[in-house]
Amino acid sequence: MAELLKVTELGKDLREAINKLEVSGDLESVGIVTRVGDGVAWVYGLRSAGASEVLLIETKSGTVEAFALNLNEDEIGAVLLGSDEEVVAGAKVTLKGTILDVPVGEEMLGRVVDPLGKPLDGGPAIKTKQRGLVEREAIGVLGRKHVHEPMMTGIVSIDAMFPIGRGQRELIIGDRQTGKTAIAIDTMINQGRQKTGVINIYVAIGQKLSKIARLVDRLKAEGVMDQTIIVATGPSDPASLLYLAPYAATAMGEYFRDNKKHALIIYDDLTKHAVAYRQMSLLLRRPPGREAFPGDVFYLHSRLLERSAKLSDKLGGGSLTALPIIETQAGDISAYIPTNVISITDGQIFMETDLFNQGIRPAISAGLSVSRVGGDAQTKAVKSVGGGLKLGLSQFRELASFAQFGSDLDEETKQQIERGQRLTELLKQHQYSPMSIWEQVASIRAVTSGSFDKVPVAKIQEAKTAMLTRLWKDHKKEMQELNTGAEKIEDESKVAGLLDKTAVAVAKGFED
């Protein structure tokens, strides 16, 4: 039998309430709040409660829900899902009889909700046929299949050099204000533009509501809001809601994954999530470890990201792709939370402050970014031109670093540097302008094949746009075919000839 609470420490009313409970023999299914504050309630009794079980706390004006997080021998630490103002010591607590769950289904599409699935967009109440568990075991190895279908971001540098596949977990990492969110948003927009049918789920963790409102407006204007769910929490929401947001959103994503569909989930960002968890844990008096995070902070994110998967054919072949975002301090990817998340994802897109400030945007680092599983998922067309891109870029970076020390360069080196400058220029891409497969292929080839060698660096973007316009106007059918991405671009092939001919002709108009 658990040791009883030291009854002398408690107030008279509370003592009486506990005595009554002990006499009644209801300690299994009934509890009493002993203290409350900062969104956390401690409950004596309720011995049959399990982790994540929903508790009902009686207050003057109805019940407040909470979920059990700390199961100690004689006490439960519970996180309140509503305001703690009405909850007082001595309040009666019972079990709701369910594990925490949220509404899931098609009905959620187009909506902005809180982590409990309640609308935040002023729209009607959401009625779904199904609910999904906020905490759920990840699917085992046998239920999975290797990642093999592309999840096109529309961002040339990513699709060509660090391709992402459906079911993959690719981290977006970088300092503040380096374009991390922009990558995620463009990827969502691309799902609409390319009509991929992929469902977007965007999780805002502790973000200003004005920012979320702007995002919703943008997604509506782009026509992708009706295939999107936004799970939002603001900076003034209790830590418990910030903590729940990614799990609740994942449950919403799993619905699509488990129903043979494809969904993309963006966690923006997991740094704030870890901080919310730390706050909750300290309030629950868990022993702090490194950087004051509780010891299980690794498990916090690993059990979350494990739920993203490409399912086996037997399970319907659906997928959930995750793009978690992590904010670094001064580019330090070896800090505690960044290394944790790097180790549980299948690669990372690293954003560099220096590149961003030089105007090279998206500021994706070619050296520190990697995608470990997406290669198989890359379309043949992009793959066949993308190889030259990565090579050209890495040779350029190497050469450029020592070329600045001397002016005597041989012709070949000079040419490689010139080519590298053009590639760098080509990879600059404005926000909200994801590119389709044929546009990516044609642009990359124009530079890597040398067709644009005589176009001045400053005019590369202009020449690219002119070339794409011309290709679409004169060869729409071929471009549509190229856009399926199914065919490799062989140098001798008809489409390669067509691309090169057009690129060379357009380049003539831009030469000095």
Ligand X SMILES: Nc1ncnc2c1ncn2[C@@H]1O[C@H](COP(=O)(O)OP(=O)(O)OP(=O)(O)O)[C@@H](O)[C@H]1O
Of the two residues 93 and 189, which places its CB atom closer to ligand X in the complex? 189
**Side chain identity at 444, as an amino acid letter?**
I
Find the shortest distance in angstroms from Cβ 491 to Mg ion. Answer: 41
Of the two residues 17 and 173, which places its CB atom closer to Mg ion in the complex? 173
- Is 372 part of the annotated catalytic residue set? yes
Partner that binds at residue 327, options Mg ion, ligand X, none, CB closer than 5 to 8 Å by kind: ligand X
Of the two residues 180 and 261, which places its CB atom closer to ligand X in the complex? 180
Which residue from 75, 114, 254, 327 is in contact with ligand X, where contact means CB under 6 A? 327
Partner that binds at residue 178, options ligand X, Mg ion, none, CB closer than 5 to 8 Å by kind: ligand X
Q: Is 478 exposed, middle or buried (0-12, 13-18, 19+ CB in 10 A)?
A: middle
Distance CA 173, CA 279 (A): 23
Distance CA 314, CA 316 (A): 5
Instruction: Find out whether 261 and 318 touch, Cβ atoms under 8 Å.
Output: yes
Find the shortest distance in angstroms from Cβ 207 to Mg ion. Answer: 8
Find the shortest distance in angstroms from Cβ 249 to Mg ion. Answer: 16
Instruction: Find out whether 64 and 240 touch, Cβ atoms under 8 Å.
Output: no
Q: Where along the sequence are the contacts to Mg ion (CB under 5 A)?
A: 180-181
Q: Which residue has the tokens 């994801």?
A: 434
Find the shortest distance in angstroms from Cβ 343 to Mg ion. Answer: 22
Distance CA 162, CA 181 (A): 17
Of the two residues 312 and 461, which places its CB atom closer to ligand X in the complex? 461
Of the two residues 70 and 429, which places its CB atom closer to ligand X in the complex? 429
Three-state DSSP at 86 gives: coil
Instruction: Find out whether 485 and 380 touch, Cβ atoms under 8 Å.
Output: yes
Strands 112-113 and 228-232: parallel
Q: Is 405 exposed, middle or buried (0-12, 13-18, 19+ CB in 10 A)?
A: exposed
DSSP 451-479: TTTTS-GGGHHHHHHHHHHHHHHH-HHHH
**Side chain identity at 105, as an amino acid letter?**
G
Partner that binds at residue 308, options ligand X, Mg ion, none, CB closer than 5 to 8 Å by kind: none
Instruction: Please report whether residue 362 would count as binding ligand X according to CB under 6 A.
Output: yes
Find the shortest distance in angstroms from Cβ 268 to Mg ion. Answer: 6
Q: Catalytic pick from 131, 193, 372, 470?
A: 372
Partner that binds at residue 165, options Mg ion, ligand X, none, CB closer than 5 to 8 Å by kind: none
Using CB under 6 A as the criterion, what x/- string covers residues 142-181 for binding ligand X?
--------------------------------x-xxxxxx
Three-state DSSP at 505 gives: helix
Find the shortest distance in angstroms from Cβ 420 to ligand X. Answer: 20
Partner that binds at residue 187, options Mg ion, ligand X, none, CB closer than 5 to 8 Å by kind: none
Which uninterrupted H or E stretch holds 209?
A: helix 209-221
Q: With CB under 6 A, what is the number of residues at the site for ligand X?
A: 14
Partner that binds at residue 431, options Mg ion, ligand X, none, CB closer than 5 to 8 Å by kind: ligand X
Which residue from 257, 361, 445, 475 is in contact with ligand X, where contact means CB under 6 A? 361
Of the two residues 179 and 420, which places its CB atom closer to ligand X in the complex? 179
Touching ligand X, residues 420-459 (CB under 6 A): 429-431
Largest CA distance in the chain: 95
Spell 442-457 as b/e; 16+ CB within 10 A means b: bbbbbbbbbbbeebee
Interface contacts to ligand X, rule CB under 6 A: 174, 176-182, 327, 361-362, 429-431
| Catalytic machinery residues | 372
